[in-house]
Chain A
Amino acid sequence: MNEERQAYRIRQALNHGLQEISPISARRLEAARHLALSRQKQSIGTLATAGTATADWQPLPSGEGSSGNGIKQILAICALLFGMWLSFYWHSDQYITEVEAVDSALLTGDLPPDVLLDNEFLEWLKDDTSEE
């Protein structure tokens, strides 16, 4: 009961104080309240943007912290290009090894390339049938 009575007295004192506050002070308090509310809205807005930024592609970032994102994107593109070139290099190496092996065999083998170019002659040579 004592606590309730104490609270009642404090409330009465505050209400009485409000009636005595000057209009200038009241306007300053109101302006400060608006300023505080506007800053609170701005910080919520920034947080919301930061939350969706990871899902959005920003090719030309600007503003605070954007230079770091730009470097990351450039590094990612460089890594992708390097990976592609490595893949092409490997493919080229495989191709050259395979073709070089066949060409070396052609250039050193018993059958010269001009015979291998003559399909009709090759078919004649491959024919195993004997004459009747």
Chain B
Amino acid sequence: MLACLLPAGATPPTTAILGTPPQPEWPALSASQKKILAPLENEWARMEHVRRKQWLTTASRYQELSKTEKERVQKRMHDWVKLTPEQRARARDNYREINRLPDEQKDLIKKKWSAYKQLPDDEKQGVRERHKSAILLAPPQPSPAESTDTSLPVAQ
């Protein structure tokens, strides 16, 4: 009954659970696997075999990542594993949705995000409430006196 209320993909399908062979416990992992998956050490014992196998696949491809990507994985892994299955499913759905957009639109979203995260924390909420996101990509304002938001550019 509960499964009907969860978003699609929140939990692995039964066939995937049944078809996944038992995966190793934390002490049985290799030294390199432990190093890569270190943020997951406390969660490993509680993880179902499907997710363990998934993380072991990630670890096997880790060396192919760039330095920036490796840093991001290490930073985000811990928080990611703390999310509920429903939250992870929602994040995946939103990622897929953005991934389906045209490249120009995807680039715009990334640029807007990049500009947004550079704003001072105390201004972020105000920008979201008072402006359209296009303001993040607007050229800098010519004179600070002409705008009420002193640090923001002016939308064209």
Q: Contact between A112 and B76 (Cβ–Cβ < 8 Å)? A: yes
Q: Contact between B91 and A116 (Cβ–Cβ < 8 Å)? A: yes
Q: Contact between A131 and B132 (Cβ–Cβ < 8 Å)? A: yes
Q: Contact between B91 and A113 (Cβ–Cβ < 8 Å)? A: yes
| A96 to B61 CA separation, bound complex (whole angstroms) | 14
- Residue of B53, B65, B94, B96 near A117 (CB, 8 A) is B94
B133 within 8 A of A: yes
| A115 to B113 CA separation, bound complex (whole angstroms) | 9
Tell me the count of chain A residues lying within 8 A, CB to CB, of chain B. 40
A82 within 8 A of B: no
Contact-size category for B: 35 or more
| A109 to B68 CA separation, bound complex (whole angstroms) | 10
Q: Contact between A103 and B155 (Cβ–Cβ < 8 Å)? A: no
| A48 to B9 CA separation, bound complex (whole angstroms) | 56
B34 within 8 A of A: no
Within 8 A of A (CB), among B28-48: none
* A residues near B12, Cβ cutoff 8 Å: 95, 99
A–B pairs, 16, beta carbons within 8 Å: A85-B18, A85-B19, A92-B15, A93-B19, A95-B13, A96-B53, A96-B57, A102-B96, A103-B58, A106-B91, A108-B72, A111-B109, A112-B72, A122-B94, A130-B132, A131-B134
Which residues of A are interface residues toward B (Cβ below 8 A)? 85, 87-93, 95-97, 99-100, 102-117, 119, 121-122, 124-131
For the complex with contacts A90-B19, A111-B110, A112-B76, 17 further pairs of A-B residues with Cβ separation under 8 Å are A85-B18, A92-B15, A92-B20, A95-B13, A95-B50, A99-B92, A102-B96, A109-B95, A111-B95, A113-B79, A114-B79, A115-B113, A124-B132, A125-B113, A127-B134, A128-B105, A131-B131
3 nearest interchain CB pairs?
A88-B19, A92-B19, A108-B69
